[in-house]
Structure formats: C-alpha cells, structure tokens
Amino acid sequence: MPADAASPLSISGVIQPYAWGGNRFLAEFLHQTNPENEPMAELWMGAHPKGPAQINGADKTLDQLITDTAVETLGERVASRFDNRLPFLFKILDVQAMLSIQVHPDKASAERGFAQEEASGPERSAPNRNYRDDNHKPELGVALTDFYLLHGFRSENSIRETLVEIPGWDALLPIFNELGVSGLYRHVMEADQETVDELLAPVLMELAGGEYEKYQPEFWAARAVEQYAKDGHQDRGIFSIFWFNVVHLRPGEGIFQDAGIPHAYLEGVCIELMANSDNVLRGGLTPKHIDVPELLRLTNTISVTPNVLLPQEQADGWSVYPTPAPDFRLRVAKPSTGKTLSVDTTAGPAIILLLSGEVKEQDGPLTLTEQDRIAFVPAGLQFSLLPASESVVYLAEVGE
C-alpha cells in the first residue's frame, strides 16, 4: 500500500525491549519468533521519535510522513492545535515484572523540565534524562488480560492503619500526624538507605512464609523483595505498595491516569492510549533512573478512589472509554459478520488496531488480519469496515 496520505495506511509498530516485559504475548500477537526469549515489553503504534511506526510498503516512518504532510495528514484543526504532531501514542504493554513507582507531568511542568534539560543536559537519549519531550502524558489503560496496578493514594485512615498495624511503623505516626500523607511520603522517599532498611525489616519478617492473594499489598511487597532487593538493601517503593490502591482490572475494563497521580503496573497485558510523550518521573521499583525530588514535586498525595471505566455504547456500533484528555479518545467495537462498522476521520486522524478476527475496507484496499493488524487513517476520510469473522477492533483518535 503506498504512503499516500489520502488513504488508510498499513503500519508496523515498534517493540520496546524493556527488562520488565514478557517474552511471549507480543511475539505471538505479531506472529514473530523470539528464540532468545528477549523481553518484548511494549508495542508502540504512533509517531513518537523514540519509536515511530513504519509504513508498510514504503521507506518512510509515520513521523516522517506527518512532518512532510502535516496539514493533509492530521487535518488543519489538529495540525494547528497540536503543533503539527500526532497528539496521541497507542501501545500494547506486556507486564511480566512489576515496574516503577511513577508520575507524569502536566503540560507546564513538561515544557519547563524539557527546556531546562535541553539547555543543561543530559542528552535526550541519556538514561538519566527525565524529560524527553515537552508534552504532558495523561494516559488510559485498558486490560486485555487480568491486570494489576497501583493507582493513587489510599484514604488517610487506611494509611494510618498501616502505621499502627505494621511493627515499627508507629515511629512514623508523629510525622503523619503533623505533616499528613504528603509529609509522610516525603519522609520515607527522602530517607537514607539505612532508615529504609530498618523500617522495612519488620515487613520482611511478616512476609516470610506467608501466603497472600493478589488483591493484598503483601503479595506485591513480597514480589518486590524478590525482584528489587540488592546486597541486603530494600527498595523504598515498597512503602508505596502499602499506601497506594491495589487495583484489579478485568479484560475490557480501563483506568485513567492523570498528571500527578502516582501509579505502578504490577502484572498483565493492557492497551495504553496516551498523549504523545515519553516523560516519566520514577521513585522506586525500577532499575531505571530515579529522581525523588522531581517525583515528589509533581506527586498529588490526595486520596483517590479508583474509577474503573467501562466502554459506553454508541449508536454507530462503537463503544467509547470516557476520559477528560483532549489528546486522545479510545473506541472499541465487536462487529458481527456481515455488519459494517463506520470509520470517520473528518475531525482528525486515527489508528486502527485489530485485536482479533479480520476486517476489510468496504470498496477499498485496506484489509486487517491477525498477520497485519494496524492501520493509520489520515484525517478527512470516511469509510466502512466489513468484518469477515467475529472481530474485536480498537480505534485510537483525537479527543474533543
């Protein structure tokens, strides 16, 4: 299929081999071999310069096409609104090992942090870089398998209970009583390693020999000890496991992570749709760069009740996951054989992901199968997809 911005384009995503990734799901999903069992953590489907999708049948990546034909590809409104950039990044994640306590910046913080690091270093690709671009990173995650994550702080009463119940943590009560959740979290995140080890020692004793379920923080604390203990020292991210909400998403359920909401992915496979950014501030449970002061500066310590999202049915056969993000919107459809599904990119471009089945463009050349799953749809097109079998289709598009 030619790299013509006037028609849907078959594209191939880019694998990010982060160490926490599984080695089977994405290989099987993409019908690729992985004989060395290398980690295949994320499939990026977008135009971020760190991993732009390849346009199949053309010697061009998606970001190059957009740079060359921004107004035609994105549409005049989106090109003007988002500075000639595709505003979202679409991903699939396979989380085998729990990964970093993290927050994402808001737009103003991202612009400020990026400008500072551009001026004073480190290099944009350096491992100790915080801001690799100038964008915020709200994100929507939708589970494809049972998916576990940490999301936001628990209630003050729940956090107080951990200080009373866990041996040795009563020493933290005066800090909590005086400075609240924010002061408590700052204290343990800025503590020296000796203090961290001393506070976590009774936790390790309690965990020894215990059997826990995945809805319990103790289950993930024990896994964190196995995964991140080094030279007899413990990871301070374990405090977050006890003070954040443990969330279990069933397949099809979603959750929205806004700027400043601390979170960490624990296990499972999910779709992610986010603003087109790779900005992450980390504070633990990771071998990657940690910047505790910047993490604390951006972290919102208010109590959060996780809002599990279900797709809302629409009259056109699609269902939509509601989020406040202007950069993106995610739709899903499960069309039956013989029933068409409309695609309309009048308002801006989209990326189609075929999760299962097969769909064809009615009166057009596009065919998505389980061997060729992804298509970029430039702005200004209207067409119908006709399923050849029972199918599941996701559509990432620009928000309102």
Closest CA to 138 of 106, 90, 115: 106
Distance CA 317, CA 33 (A): 35
Distance CA 394, CA 10 (A): 15
Show the DSSP H helices in the chain as ranges.
25-29, 62-68, 70-74, 76-81, 107-120, 156-165, 173-190, 193-207, 217-228, 237-243, 292-298
117 is in an annotated binding site: no
In degrees to the nearest 10, what's the CA dihedral of 157, 158, 163, 167? 140
Q: Is the dihedral of CA 215, 104, 189, 171 positive or negative?
A: negative
187 is in an annotated binding site: no
Distance CA 10, CA 372 (A): 8
Question: Are the CB atoms for 134 and 278 separated by under 8 Å?
Answer: no
102 is in an annotated binding site: yes
Distance CA 153, CA 144 (A): 25
151 is in an annotated binding site: no
Distance CA 87, CA 84 (A): 9
Omega prior to 87 cis, within 30 of 0: no
Active site residues: 282
Question: Are the CB atoms for 75 and 214 separated by under 8 Å?
Answer: no
- Which H or E element spans position 143? strand 139-143
Residue type, 264: A
Q: Which residues are annotated as a binding site?
A: 102, 104, 139, 263
Q: Which residues are annotated as a binding site for Zn(2+)?
A: 102, 104, 139, 263
